[in-house]
Amino acid sequence: MQEILEKCAIPAAHKIKLLSYTKENSSYLLLTKKGKYVLTHLSDPYKEETARSWALSYGYFVEKGCPFPPLLFVGPLEGRLSFITHYAEGKVHTTWQEKDLEEVGFFLGTFHKISETSPYKIPSLPYATSLYNEYLEIKEKLPKEFFALHKAVEGLHDSWPDHLPKGILHTDIWQKNVLFEETKISSILNFIHPSYDLFLLDIAKVLKTIFFRENKEALFSTFLTAYQMLRPLSQEELNHLDLAISSTQISTILRFLKQGLLNPKTKEQDFAIALSHFYKWRASVS
């Protein structure tokens, strides 16, 4: 790591603090005499083409004004894709209010508008295919409580609107990845697993975070109005919005079911979380 820091003209870190750890990636805060930096270490094996596409896309969005932390390094570390950015200052708003969602809508509409003109594409498996493959992996092991998933996933696979507008997606816009300074967004974090797919998916993932709020309709309206000031949605996109939200809910259920089936130690906990999401999803589509 010291060699990488020297390449970036960053002094040796006098303290390294774990910020987050998941199966997909781990992030570390590097405290140095020069300032604070974040090292993100992905679980994916390093591939030159993937790293280059990601870095070019990241740089393009920063150049166009997207509030991503400046990128200092991208390359292999212990054989895995890793990168270093400046540490982003700001505050997480754990419960988004209408003003927050207006700001998120402005950001995402701007981001997608820029994405429409981006000369870069991120090599990625189509979302619908990835979701269906994940389902097939555990299809024969699904507990009986989740029987309704069979018909739902098959239906999504058969009716997925793959012809709708596409571009580079952030894929992970939610409360912990959006930093604010007072009422304005100061930074967007974790642009680390982008994909090239339907714009509707980024929108649906935001709406999923507020789907069960009491004032859902007002929050939806505020977000979508702000978004469409930058990138208007076609009527066909609006018609498929519920389907996209449902797909993100199903994806969460499948992820926890898969984790539980792969790891007996966390099986009970993962299945309980999956079941909670499952009941909420059933309530939302009934």
Q: What is the mean pLDDT of residues 63-87?
A: 90
Instruction: Judge whether residue 154 has pLDDT over 90.
Output: yes
Whether 141 and 283 map to the same domain: the answer is yes
Mean pLDDT of 143-157: 93
Same structural domain, 133 and 266: yes
Q: Residue 8: pLDDT band by 50, 70, 90 thresholds?
A: low
**What pLDDT is recorded for position 1?**
64
Query: Is residue 3 scored above 80 in pLDDT?
Result: no
Residues 106, 210: one domain?
Answer: yes
Domain boundaries, position 17: 2-86
Dump pLDDT digits (tens) for 254-265.
999 999 998 889
Q: Are residues 72 and 14 in the same domain?
A: yes
- Ranges 7-21, 36-50, 115-129, most confident: 115-129
Total domains in the fold of the chain: 3
* Average pLDDT of the residues in 127-147: 94
- pTM, 2 dp: 0.93
Do 144 and 234 share a domain, yes or no?
no
Residue % of the chain over a pLDDT of 90: 73
pLDDT digits (tens, 9 = 90+) for 30-48: 998 888 999 998 887 888 8
The pLDDT score that the predictor gives to residue 46 is: 81
Query: Where residue 13 sits, what CATH number does that domain have?
Result: 3.30.200.20
Q: Are residues 97 and 214 in the same domain?
A: yes
Instruction: Note whether 118 and 7 are same-domain residues.
Output: no
pLDDT over threshold 80, residue 23: no
Are 17 and 76 within one domain? yes
The CATH number of whichever domain residue 99 belongs to comes to 3.90.1200.10
Same domain, yes or no: 98 and 185: yes
> Do 277 and 148 fall within a single domain?
yes
- pLDDT (average), residues 226-240: 98
Domain identity same for 180 and 275:
no
**Three-state secondary structure along the chain?**
CHHHHHHCCCCCCCEEEEEEECCCEEEEEEECCCCEEEEEEEEEECCHHHHHHHHHHHHHHHHCCCCCCCEEEEEEECCEEEEEEECCCCEECCCCCHHHHHHHHHHHHHHHHHHHCCCCCCCCCCHHHHHHHHHHHHHHHCCHHHCHHHHHHHHHHHHCCCCCCEEEECCCCCHHHEEEECCEEEEECCCCCCEEEEHHHHHHHHHHCCCCCCCHHHHHHHHHHHHHHHCCCCHHHHHCHHHHHHHHHHHHHHHHHHHHHHCHHHHHHHHHHHHHHHHHHHHHHC
Mean pLDDT of 14-22: 85
Domain check: are 20 and 56 in the same one?
yes
Q: Given pLDDT bands bounded at 50, 70 and 90, which one contains residue 193?
A: confident
Mean pLDDT across 98-127: 94
Interval 102-114 mean pLDDT: 98
pLDDT on residue 81: 85
